A = this chain, B = another copy of it.
Amino acid sequence: MISEKMHEQVKNSSVIRAMFEEGKRLAGIYGAENVFDFSLGNPNVEPPEEVKKAILEIVNDKNVIGIHGYMNNSGYEEVRAAIAKSINDKFGTTITHNSILMTVGAAGGLNVILKTLLNPKDEVITFAPFFGEYRNYVKNFDGELIAVSPNTIDFQPNLKEFKDKITPKTKAVIINSPNNPTGVIYSEETIIKLSEILREKQKEFGTDIYLIADEPYRELAYDQAEVPYLSKYYANTIVGYSYSKSLSLPGERIGYLMISDQAADFENIISAANIANRILGFVNAPALFQRVIVKCLDAKVDLEAYNRNRELLYKELLSYGYQCIKPEGAFYMFVKSPIENDAEFCSLANKKNILIVPGSAFGCPGYVRIAYCVAYETIVKALPGFKALIEELK
């Protein structure tokens, strides 16, 4: 009785559900503390203290009424203005609150902007490996996701193939840096070249191609690495941001779209995105957390906790013989599977109570993703399993 599109989805989701069930089964046998779940990007680091403080301040403020009521679909104007100012201060842009649309997380924001832009059969290009949900988001609006094959040397985008894949039907390009699943930050050189290619192709085809930067991991960059801000390099830029990882609030669904005021058809995009936010059923980003995040614009989660995990896992896996690029951001490590079949390797890992995700789910078979946003002890206890795994395969 369910729709054909969803029928297909239910069928495909059974692999992930099977993994989830397997995790529960293992926890039942060995105890949850002996199952090492590296499968999900659910931050284990608690939000900074400022979050709790902000909630208490807002809720206890007797002068404020209607804090849980409706506001404009785009969010509170003062929240949007504060975010615009904070972006301007950090990146030297000159945007106003008009460029900011508060959204139900980055996932909500991406759906809003894709609904705004896509006609059926329009093409959206992304670079493998990529967050698998992009495929679903684009399909929601009958667009077609075109994946550029991975550059497994350093996991920077494969720009030669990218150029060849742009067509007159290319409406948008989604990039995600720091990247899920590799942790790689797309370099400034990459961004400059990518922007040049886009401008060239826009001219060639007489089209506008929007560059959508999905940036939930922007603040999770190690060793003071710089993450270029896209609107400085390319006019038709839209940034999807989320506080899910920067403030460890993924369950609260709070983020925004930044639509560059330099983008073609700016006014119409703003109006349409506002309406899309409403009619898709989001209506508005959660009210209380709009006010919370504006009090936490300079707060940060404890990045050092993730960094400790990163250093330990990277050093040890390399010493066992695994091959891997050292992640520069986010909390994922993308490791070459010691055997060709990444799904089979994940099954073998399961037998050591280690849950990881096949690279195929990210359009990059032959690799596996390890989400290291877990307790340090979980990594310590899982290491012997990782070691035994590769030794048994030698």
Contact = CB atoms under 8 A, between A and B. Distances in A.
Copies in the assembly, this chain: 2
Interface in A167-219: 208, 210
Contacts of A42: 69-70
A251 interface: yes
A140 B118 CA distance: 13
Interface stretch (A52-60, A224-232, A305-313, A320-328): A52-60
A2 B116 contact: yes
Interface residues of A, number: 75
Contact of A119 (B4, B40, B208, B269): B4
Given A2-B272, A70-B40, A140-B280, A288 B59 contact: no
B9 A272 contact: yes
Interface stretch (A43-51, A80-88, A150-158): A43-51
A69 to B, nearest CB: 5
A233 interface: no
A251 B71 contact: yes
Contacts of A278: 133
Interface stretch (A25-33, A105-113, A351-359): A105-113
Contacts of A140: 279-280
Given A47-B68, A286-B289, 8 more contacts: A6-B272, A9-B279, A10-B268, A10-B272, A55-B59, A69-B250, A70-B251, A282-B282
